[in-house]
Structure 1
Amino acid sequence: MKKVFIMALLAFSSLTINAQVETPQASPSSKVEQTVGLTNVSIDYSRPGAKGRTVYGDLVPYGKNWRTGANANTVITFDEDIKVNGQELKRGKYALYTTPKADSWDVIFYSATDNWGLPKTWDESKVALRTTVKPETLNKPVESFTISLNNLSNDSATLDLAWERTMVSVPFTVPTNKVAMNSIEKALAGPSAGDYFSAAQYFYQTENDLNKALTWINNAVSLTPEGKDTPFWYLRLKSLIQAKLGDKKGAIATAKSSLDGAKKAGNGDYEKMNKDSIAEWSK
């Protein structure tokens, strides 16, 4: 009986040790994702509550840098270069900090995003952009700190921070016309050499229409810029397709060109593969 009791006690102790208590976060995490024109913007942050407290000028002191949220850094990411209040900001990931004041706010995009709250040592060289905006007074209080992307157009939006009865709105513009024109020009120019190579490689690997694969790899080879060497891996694929189609003579000639390119690039793997294939096809 005593042995059974001890075993039961050990089992209960194990369950107690392994159990994990789950409780709601005091400042729940949130994620915002929005496409502005053709630019993708994402924001990861935590949302503290006012809970009856005076926020700005008390809980968040005026004139001091603020983490702009709670817990780890509030992180904002842009996948294109943009302009914030007319200033250029490179594509990338930034910690979002602010310096609230009664009549103006500094909004700071900081390149280091791995801090818990503010950096222990502030590094001004990591300030990618700083801009100043005017706060607005809200008619209705906002209980939970909220970041949103509003006033969307093809070319612009606003980054809005709202809490208690204060909101600041940071305008930014995105390069929609530039991105669209690049996309149009690329599409109208037709497939790239890499596109043709990928298509030919897929057809070869899946034993699909090898004549079509040969046409595509020839297109890829023909798109080699003038004065540049054709990529040796393109030539390697072409030789394999030729061999599969029964053109051993053509395959050997192409493999020799691929071998020369591999030697020039110092790629031992492709050197060996080409030498082995040339030996095999020469039998």
Structure 2
Amino acid sequence: MKKLIVVAFVVLSTLFVEAQVKTPQASPLSKVEQTVGLTNVQVEYSRPSAKGRTVYGDLVPFGKNWRTGANANTTIYFSDDVTFNGKTLPKGKYALFTTPKADSWDIIFYTDTNNWGLPEKWDESKVALKTSVKPETLSKSVESFTIEINNLTNDGASLDLAWERTKVSVPFTVPTKEMAMASIEKVLAGPSANDFYSAASYYYQSNQDLTKALSWVNSAVSMTPAGQSAPFWYLRLKSLIQAKLGDKKGAIETAKYSLEGAQKAGNADYEKMNRESIAEWSK
């Protein structure tokens, strides 16, 4: 009988632990992800509802910092530097705070994102950027607080906040032109030394066309700026390819240059590998 009671207790305890009451959140979590030009923008926030209440000037007082949503910090992430009203906001993740007023809003990007609502102690040094915009009056009321990325162009968009009969639109620009030009110039300039090195390394490691691998590593070496020595790891790879192709004399000569470079750089691992290879190929 006692055993049955114990078993029943264990079963009930397990069921109690595993069972969790699920109810909807008063302010559901929402995520927004939008590509603007070549820049990724992500927003994560909780959406409170008006529920018949007067929002601005009452639920959200005028002239005071607001968490701009509910629960944990509303956060916004930019994959590249962006510009708000001529001010540059470095790429990264920020908490989004605002100071609503009847005739203008302050929009604040704060570097500390680990707060539940407003920081316990406001630190002005953590304000990465602050800008002001004028609010608009909407013709229809918005029941749930909403953040959107709208007015998309190749060079920018707007961060839009809407709730009740108020909308705030904050335009920003992204560095699409600079990024596109840099990409075009890189591609048109042809493969870099690292591109040739990576291709040669892959061919060597995967036992593919070693003649082609040697050609590529030679191209990488030849792109060394005048007056500088070729990187010792480039030369190490070249010596390995030469040895695998049966050119041990050439491999030893290349390995000696690699050894010299490793010694100058103080790289003991490459020194050891080159010495061991030279000894092996000299037999």
Fold-level match, TM-score > 0.5? Answer: yes
Distance 1:250 1:23, change over 3 A: farther
What is the rounded CA distance, in whole Å, between the counterparts of 2:183 and 2:163 in structure 1? 40
Identity fraction in percent? 73
Query: What is the deviation of 1:183?
Result: 0.7
Q: Which residue pairs with 1:133 in the alignment?
A: 133
What is the rounded CA distance, in whole Å, between the counterparts of 1:166 and 1:206 in structure 2? 62
- 1:59-95 Cα distance to aligned partner (Å, 9 max, x none): 1111111111122221111122221022222222211
Amino acid paired to 1:73: N
Query: What is the deviation of 1:211?
Result: 0.8
Q: Which residue pairs with 1:188 in the alignment?
A: 188
Q: Which residue pairs with 1:123 in the alignment?
A: 123
Query: What is the deviation of 1:19?
Result: 3.2
Q: Which residue pairs with 1:10 in the alignment?
A: 10
Distance 1:185 1:20, change over 3 A: same
What is the rounded CA distance, in whole Å, between the counterparts of 2:145 and 2:230 in structure 1? 56
Query: What is the deviation of 1:205?
Result: 0.9
Q: Which moved more, 1:233-242 or 1:223-232?
A: 223-232
Instruction: Kindly report which structure 2 residues correspond to 1:258-277, keeping only aligned pairs within 5 A, or say none.
Output: 258-277=258-277
Amino acid paired to 2:52: G
Q: Which residue pairs with 1:68 in the alignment?
A: 68
DSSP 3-state at the match of 1:50:
coil
Query: What is the deviation of 1:185?
Result: 0.4
Amino acid paired to 1:101: K
- 1:107-155 Cα distance to aligned partner (Å, 9 max, x none): 0111222222211111111111111101111111112211111111111
What is the rounded CA distance, in whole Å, between the counterparts of 2:212 and 2:25 in structure 1? 58
Q: Which residue pairs with 2:106 in the alignment?
A: 106
Q: Which residue pairs with 2:32 in the alignment?
A: 32
Gaps of 5+ in 1: none
Query: What is the deviation of 1:256?
Result: 1.4
Amino acid paired to 2:277: S
Distance 1:277 1:117, change over 3 A: same
What is the rounded CA distance, in whole Å, between the counterparts of 2:29 and 2:71 in structure 1? 9
DSSP 3-state at the match of 2:71:
coil
Instruction: Kindly report which structure 2 residues correspond to 1:1-283, keeping only aligned pairs within 5 A, or say none.
Output: 1-283=1-283
Query: What is the deviation of 1:225?
Result: 2.3
Query: What is the deviation of 1:182?
Result: 0.5
Query: What is the deviation of 1:27?
Result: 1.7
Aligned residues: 283
Q: TM-score, normalised by structure 2?
A: 0.95
What is the rounded CA distance, in whole Å, between the counterparts of 2:217 and 2:21 in structure 1? 59
What is the rounded CA distance, in whole Å, between the counterparts of 1:226 and 1:34 in structure 2? 45
What is the rounded CA distance, in whole Å, between the counterparts of 1:247 and 1:23 in structure 2? 73
DSSP 3-state at the match of 1:64:
coil
What is the rounded CA distance, in whole Å, between the counterparts of 1:277 and 1:63 in structure 2? 73
DSSP 3-state at the match of 2:67:
coil
Gaps of 5+ in 2: none
DSSP 3-state at the match of 1:102:
coil
Query: What is the deviation of 1:187?
Result: 0.5
What is the rounded CA distance, in whole Å, between the counterparts of 2:105 and 2:207 in structure 1? 63
What is the rounded CA distance, in whole Å, between the counterparts of 2:142 and 2:280 in structure 1? 75
Q: TM-score, normalised by structure 1?
A: 0.95
What is the rounded CA distance, in whole Å, between the counterparts of 1:44 and 1:178 in structure 2? 28
Amino acid paired to 2:78: F
Query: What is the deviation of 1:20?
Result: 3.3
- 1:244-277 Cα distance to aligned partner (Å, 9 max, x none): 1111111111111111222222222111111111
Distance 1:165 1:210, change over 3 A: same
Query: What is the deviation of 1:18?
Result: 3.6
- 1:33-59 Cα distance to aligned partner (Å, 9 max, x none): 111112221112121222222111111
Amino acid paired to 1:6: V
